[in-house]
Amino acid sequence: MKRTTKIALGLFGTWAVSDLEELWTMSRSSRRVLPRLPQALPIPAALRRDGVSQRHVTAGIATMGAVIALAAASGVRTEGRSPLFRGVLLGFGLHGFGHLGMTAAARGYVSGAVTAPTMVLPYWLWARRELAREGIREIDAPAVAVAAAGIPLAMGVHALMFKLFRD
C-alpha cells in the first residue's frame, strides 16, 4: 500500500475512533459545559439549559463523517495532493488543539479530551511528516482555505442538528 494511501485512510480511521469518544460523551459533556459559557456567546437558551441531544450528536457525527470520508477518498485518489484532503487534514489536526483548549478553559473533561492528545495530534504530526517525505506540503493557500471553511461548516452542522433534533 502506498504511503499516501495509508495517510489518507488514516485520516478517516483516526477521525472514526476520535468521534467514538464524542459519540459517547458529547451530549453529557455539553450539559455541563454549555451553561458555563459567557452569556455574550450567541447560544440558544435551550442548548445552554439542556446541552445537545444524543440525536443531535449522532446525526452531526454522521454528517461530518461524510465530509471526512470524501476528503480521505480524495487523498487516496490524488495521492495526498488534493487541497480538500490537505485542508481537512490541517483542520483535523488543529481541531485537536481546540479540544485541549476547551479542556483547559473548562478546567475538566470535555468531549474529545482523551483522543485529541493520544490520537488526533500524534496522527496529524505523523501524517505531516509522511507527506513531507513525499514532497507534499500540507499547508498552502488552498489547503488553508479548506481548513478555514471547516469552522463555519461545523457551526452550520451544529445549527442544523439543533433545528432538526431539539426535543
- Yes or no: say if 91 and 68 are a contact pair by the CB < 8 Å rule: no
Type of residue numbered 82:
S
- Condensed to tens digits (0 to 9), the pLDDT of residues 37-53 reads 899 988 899 999 999 99
Q: Any idea which of 35-49, 57-71, 83-97, 115-129 has the lowest mean pLDDT?
A: 35-49
Evaluate if residue 115 carries a pLDDT over 90.
Answer: yes
Percent share of the chain, pLDDT over 90 = 88
Q: What is the mean pLDDT of the chain?
A: 95
**Coil/strand/helix, residue 85:** helix
Q: Residue 122: pLDDT above 90?
A: yes
Are residues 27 and 54 in contact, defined by beta-carbon separation less than 8 angstroms? Answer: yes
Q: Each residue of 76-94: pLDDT tens digit? A: 999 999 999 999 999 999 9
CA-nearest of 101, 104, 98, 113 to 154 is 98
Question: Tell me, what's the pLDDT at 2?
Answer: 94
Residue 118: C-alpha distances to residues 102, 124, 127, 160 (Å): 16, 11, 14, 30
The residue written with cell numbers 468521534 in the block is: 19
Instruction: Grade residue 138 by pLDDT with cuts at 50, 70 and 90.
Output: confident
pLDDT for 166 equals: 79
pLDDT value at residue 167: 60
**pTM, rounded to two decimals:** 0.93
Q: State the DSSP H helix or E strand holding residue 57, giving kind and residue range, or none if neither.
A: helix 54-77
As a whole-number percent, the residues of the chain with pLDDT over 70 amount to: 99
How many other CB atoms are found less than 10 A from the CB of residue 81? Answer: 16
